[in-house]
Amino acid sequence: MSHPIHRVHRLKPRATLATLALTVVCLTGAQAKSIGNPVVCVWDPIGQAGQIFDAAKGYALAAQKMGVELKLKAYTDERVASEDFRVGQCDALMATSIRTRPYAPVTAAIDHGGTATIVKEGKIDINASYEVVRKAIQVFASPGAAKLTIHDRFEVGGILPTGAIYTFARDRAVFKNGFAGVRMPAFDDDKVQAYMIQRIGAQPVSADISNFVSKFNNGSVDVIFAPAVAYKPLEIYRGVGSKGGVSRFPLAFSTLQLVLERSSFPEGFGEKSRQFWAGQFDQIIGSVRKAEADLPAELIVDYPLEAAIAFVVSQRDTRVELAGKGFYDKQGLKVMKRIRCSIYSGASECANSAEIDWPETVAKNKGS
């Protein structure tokens, strides 16, 4: 059977011109439709009634003023939203960095363990840590950093802070006894998580973001990691019960990220979009901090300061290791360290070049 391109050459000249003209009309018409009405797939575990989708509706109104009419589509299953974006059913995806990292490896560094954590005078400084998150979002929204938000044909259109990641346990004794043998949810699409679970000797249980809380609540897993904003809406309190607890040590600082298919949006829209979301930081973080303050005091398990500081140091070593294995983006880690040191230059790490200068012998980072 001959190739379709070869068959075109055997058509009559008039038919060939007509075919080409029709093809051009169809292609340009499709492009105009895509740019005119991009579809944004929004993951919200609550669906259209959730706070994430509500924020997306405010974004859609702002986009109208930028000359773009967005069509929002809510998903309660993040995996489905991500897959629809991958196959082209969506022009943009709003989801956790676990799903957006392949399209935005640099900005995903905000979420990596310890990249936003500030230790000051022997204590975790949560306020300063949130300032790191704020400044990172501002930096990535600035015109000068635009190239850091572009990866192949994708561009970051915004970053939404969702708060510190805390450990919730069904039995608070785990915080004293350690995590060896403890059952933890292992997301199938997160290789870093699987690697870390294996390192600490915990027992992985297959899960995803749509069912990890239900597995916690029904006792299939012993601990989960989540921001405080998820405690009430996802009913984490059912799994915590009266015997459980939550560690106040922040493992990381989580975000939702908006990724755009660049060809579906007008030139310059990505920067305007990032600046819009950066302008929402105070409002969003206000809800985050309120959720943290509303965690029941009797459930809080404070961490030994010495152990916490040692853990932050170990997180840095782990980031360097994971970057060497290609899991983390080195440029992203470099940006985050510079931001940490701009917030607190007195940190001991600011006197060394770790996460700034990368040995040439280290394998090139995937996605860099």
The continuous run of DSSP H or E covering 74 comes out as strand 71-75
Residue 360: what pLDDT?
A: 62
Is 90 exceeded by the pLDDT of residue 236?
yes
d(CA 333, CA 25): 45
pLDDT per residue as tens digits for the range 258-282: 999 999 999 999 999 999 999 999 9
Residue 193: what pLDDT?
A: 86
Residue 154: what pLDDT?
A: 98
pLDDT per residue as tens digits for the range 39-78: 999 999 999 999 999 999 999 999 999 999 999 999 999 9
From residue 362, alpha-carbon distances to 144, 192, 323, 357 in Å are 28, 18, 9, 11
pLDDT per residue as tens digits for the range 155-187: 999 999 999 999 999 999 999 998 999 999 998
d(CA 42, CA 252): 23
pTM for this entry = 0.86
Helices (H), the chain: 4-9, 13-36, 51-65, 78-86, 97-100, 126-141, 174-177, 191-199, 212-217, 237-240, 269-278, 281-293, 305-324, 330-343
pLDDT per residue as tens digits for the range 304-335: 878 888 888 899 999 999 999 999 999 999 99
List the domains of the chain with CATH numbers: 37-351 (3.40.190.170)
Name the pLDDT band for 362 (thresholds 50, 70, 90).
very low
**Highest mean pLDDT: which of 35-39, 199-203, 243-247?**
243-247
